[in-house]
Amino acid sequence: MAGSPPASATGTLQIYLNDINDNPPALVPREAQLCERVNRNTNGVNITAADADTDPNAGPFVFELPNYPPSIRRNWTISRISGDYARLGLRYQVYLESGVYEVPIVVSDSGNPPLSNRSVIKVKVCPCDRNGDCTTLGAVAAAGLGTGAIISILVCIIILLCEYRGAAGWCLDVVVSDSEAADHLDIHVM
Q: Omega of the bond prior to 114 within 30 degrees of 0, cis?
A: no
pLDDT score recorded for residue 98: 87
Distance in angstroms (rounded) separating the CA atoms of residues 143 and 150: 11
Based on the domain organization, do 31 and 124 belong to the same domain?
Answer: yes
pLDDT score recorded for residue 52: 92
Q: What is the pLDDT of residues 34-82, one digit of tens each?
A: 888 765 556 789 999 999 998 899 989 999 999 999 999 999 999 999 9
Q: What domain count does the chain have?
A: 2
State whether residue 153 is helix, strand or coil: helix
The residue range of the domain holding 32 is 26-136
Based on the domain organization, do 113 and 160 belong to the same domain?
Answer: no
Based on the domain organization, do 158 and 73 belong to the same domain?
Answer: no
Based on the domain organization, do 163 and 132 belong to the same domain?
Answer: no
pLDDT score recorded for residue 163: 67
Task: Find the CATH number of the domain harbouring 111.
Answer: 2.60.40.60
Based on the domain organization, do 129 and 151 belong to the same domain?
Answer: no
Q: What is the DSSP letter of 168?
A: G
Residuewise pLDDT in 10s, the chain (190 residues): 566 777 788 889 899 888 888 999 999 999 999 888 765 556 789 999 999 998 899 989 999 999 999 999 999 999 999 999 999 998 877 778 889 999 999 999 999 899 999 999 999 988 888 877 788 664 555 455 556 666 777 777 777 776 665 544 555 454 544 444 445 555 554 4
Identity of the amino acid at 109 = D
Q: What is the DSSP letter of 119?
A: E
pLDDT score recorded for residue 143: 53
Nearest Cα to Cα of residue 62 among 27, 101, 103: 27
C-beta atoms surrounding 110 within 10 Å: 19
